[in-house]
């Protein structure tokens, strides 16, 4: 009984590790989603708030290209961009000003358009 | 004893159970109402409602260990009380499951993009939510099956406790990780208060059961159900405190580093 339990536990651990590895793979290779973004809406925001690469010399690619190419960045691209874009919108909306999409995914990701 | 959910209640719900059910619903709707009405502007009401359903489900989960037949097993003339608690616990579990399913389906319907959050590549806190849902399903199915198949009480109880703890942990990860409404320290503290107080009461009872559980009624000057009454008062106070705290957290102004609107209209 206890040996079987040990075996089952080991098998479960192995499964968890394998699933975790697969998960990172899937995240790194996830297709980019279609993004709605217009500089017109963001003239009140400093360029440096978003274009850190212009200033910290990380490179001059497009944001998404760079962030999706490097595996270590690709793993956190969703968190990084949601924090940057959505949290700014939420903060501004909480002050009662017009802002971009705060909750609804469709405001930024036009899900009907394939990427 | 009543079995499964399909067994018809003999003559409708008893009045005390109805009242308790409403009380729990009211408690669970505190966060829902706050999410809906005390929130700032720029918020989508339907989306908020869907989110509030999730928080309400979490609140019910937190209350379930307190509202368990276990504490009333040895009460004097306990059989009716025991039944009532068993039924309440079961009804609330189903209700909770319903809330969670509504929460998921409503979001999928409002935003098909959220389908991404049910896949393996979803962020951890979303997988945690999915895991909590599956564990809840396992809890409900195993508990209904137990009544029919007469599984050994001890084994079932240990599994039930372990899985419930899993639901609480995963649910908390999901709530805090998604961070839509519980981003600020105040809001998080209020949430922990709302969900944590019942949990702490259940833990305290676990180590020192309330007097009603004693097999033979103990001779104390306190009277048989003082523990329950005290717990209720503590709970109510905690709810009040949480409401005030939370309302403040939601209405207080956000961090000052917002670069908009700029003093001259533009920040370039």
Smallest Cβ distance to A45: which of B119, B180, B259? B259
Residues in chain A: 115
Kindly state whether residues A48 and A96 are assigned to the same domain.
yes
Q: Does residue A45 sit in the same domain as residue A18?
A: no
CB pairs under 8 A between A and B: 79
pLDDT at B254: 40
Domain span holding position A64? 33-115
**Using CA atoms, how far apart are residues B145 and B128, in angstroms rounded to an integer?**
25
Same domain for A88 and A67: yes
Q: What is the pLDDT of residue B264?
A: 39
Lowest mean pLDDT, pick from A94-103, B22-31, B132-141, B259-268 = B259-268
Query: What is the DSSP code (8-state) at residue B38?
Result: S
Residues of B in contact with A97 (CB under 8 A): 260-261
Note the pLDDT of residue B19.
81
| Same domain? A17 vs A45 | no
Distance separating alpha carbons of residues A33 and A35, to the nearest angstrom: 6
Region B257-261: mean pLDDT is 44
Average pLDDT taken over every residue of chain B: 74
In A, minimum Cα distance to B265 occurs at A44
Q: CA-to-CA distance for B44 and B220, rounded, in angstroms?
A: 54
Asked if residue A95 and residue A44 are part of one domain, the reply reads: yes
The answer to whether residue B236 scores a pLDDT higher than 70 is no
Chain A within 8 Å of B264 (Cβ-Cβ)?
no
Tell the burial category of B50 from Cβ atoms under 10 Å away from its Cβ (0-12, 13-18, 19+): buried
Residue A41 belongs to a domain with what CATH number?
Answer: 3.90.10.10
Checking if the pLDDT of B164 tops 50, the result is yes
Write the pLDDT tens digit of every residue in B174-209. 988 887 776 666 677 777 788 888 888 888 887 877
Do A103 and B44 lie within an 8 Å CB cutoff?
yes
**Does residue A64 share a domain with residue A20?**
no
Asked whether residue A3 falls in the same domain as residue A23, the answer is yes
Q: Are residues A46 and A18 in the same domain?
A: no
Enumerate the residues of chain B whose CB falls inside 8 A of the CB of residue A108: none
**A19 contacts in B (CB within 8 Å)?**
120
Whether the CB-CB separation of B231 and A18 falls below 8 Å is answered with: no
Q: Is the distance from CB of B246 to CB of B38 less than 8 angstroms?
A: yes
CATH 1.20.120 is held by the domain B15-256:
yes
Residue B165 · residue B131 · CB < 8 Å:
no
Mean pLDDT of A95-104: 78
Distance CA B139, CA B53 (A): 20
Whether residue A5 is found in the same domain as residue A57: no
A46 & A26 share domain: no
Q: Answer yes or no: is pLDDT of B234 > 60.
A: yes
Q: Phi and psi for B10 in degrees, rounded to 5?
A: -55, -55
Chain B residues whose CB is inside 8 A of the A23 CB are 120-121
Residue B64 is given by DSSP the state: T
Higher pLDDT, B71 or B11: B71
B107 close to B114: Cβ distance less than 8 angstroms: yes
**pLDDT value at residue A97:** 77
| Domain-wise residue ranges, chain B | 15-256
Task: Please count the structural domains in chain A.
Answer: 2
pLDDT band at B36 (very low <50, low <70, confident <90, very high): low
Which distant-in-sequence residues (6+ apart) come within 8 Å of B48 by Cβ? Answer: A103, B35, B36, B39
- B134 pLDDT more than 90: yes
Average the pLDDT over each of B14-18, B53-57, B81-85, B200-204 and give the range with the smallest value: B14-18
Task: Identify the pLDDT of residue B28.
Answer: 82
DSSP character string of A59-106? -SS-HHHHHHHSHHHHTTHHHHHIIIIIHHHHHHHHTT---S-SS-GG
Q: Could you give the CA distance from residue A103 to residue A94 in angstroms, rounded to a whole number?
A: 12
Tell me if A94 and B121 make a contact (CB, 8 A cut-off). no
**What pLDDT does B224 receive?**
42
> For A10-24, B60-74, B163-177, which range has the lowest pLDDT when averaged over its residues?
B60-74
What is the value of pTM for the model shown?
A: 0.79
Question: Is A43 in the B-facing interface, judged by CB distances under 8 Å?
Answer: yes
Higher local confidence (pLDDT), B181 or A23 = A23
A13/A50 same-domain check: no
Are both A39 and A89 inside the same structural domain?
yes
Work out the pLDDT band at B7, boundaries 50, 70, 90: very low
């Amino acid at each position: 009984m206890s040996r079987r339990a040990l075996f089952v536990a080991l098998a479960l651990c192995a499964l968890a590790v394998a699933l975790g590895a697969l998960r990172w793979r899937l995240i790194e290779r996830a297709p980019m989603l279609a993004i709605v973004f217009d500089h017109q809406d963001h003239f009140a925001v400093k360029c440096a708030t978003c274009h850190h690469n212009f200033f910290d010399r990380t490179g001059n690619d497009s944001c998404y290209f760079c962030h999706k190419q490097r595996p270590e960045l690709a793993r956190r691209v969703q968190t990084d961009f949601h924090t940057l874009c959505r949290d700014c919108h939420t903060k501004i909306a909480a002050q009662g000003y017009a802002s971009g999409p705060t909750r609804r995914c469709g405001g930024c990701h036009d899900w009907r358009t394939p990427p | 004893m009543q079995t499964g959910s399909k067994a018809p209640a003999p003559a409708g719900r008893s009045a005390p159970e109805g009242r308790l059910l409403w009380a729990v619903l009211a408690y669970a709707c505190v966060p829902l109402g706050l999410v809906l009405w005390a929130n700032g502007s720029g918020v989508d009401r339907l989306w908020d409602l869907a989110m509030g359903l999730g928080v309400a489900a979490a609140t019910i989960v937190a209350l379930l260990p307190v509202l368990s037949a276990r504490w009333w097993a040895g009460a004097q003339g306990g059989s009716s009380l025991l039944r009532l608690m068993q039924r309440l616990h079961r009804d609330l579990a189903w209700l909770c499951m319903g809330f969670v399913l509504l929460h998921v389906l409503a979001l999928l319907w409002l935003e098909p993009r959220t389908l991404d959050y049910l896949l393996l590549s979803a962020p951890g806190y979303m997988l945690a939510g999915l895991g909590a849902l599956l564990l809840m399903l396992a809890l409900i199915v195993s508990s209904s099956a137990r009544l029919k198949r007469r599984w050994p009480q001890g084994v079932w109880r240990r599994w039930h406790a372990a899985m419930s703890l899993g639901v609480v942990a995963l649910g908390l990860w999901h709530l805090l990780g998604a961070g839509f409404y519980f981003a600020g320290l105040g809001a998080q503290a209020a949430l922990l208060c709302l969900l944590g107080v019942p949990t702490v009461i259940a833990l305290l009872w676990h180590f020192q059961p309330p007097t009603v559980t004693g097999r033979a009624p103990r001779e104390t000057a306190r009277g048989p159900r003082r523990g329950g009454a005290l717990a209720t008062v503590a709970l109510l106070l905690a709810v009040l405190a949480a409401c005030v705290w939370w309302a403040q957290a939601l209405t207080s102004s956000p961090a000052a580093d917002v670069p908009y609107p700029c003093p001259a209209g533009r920040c370039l």
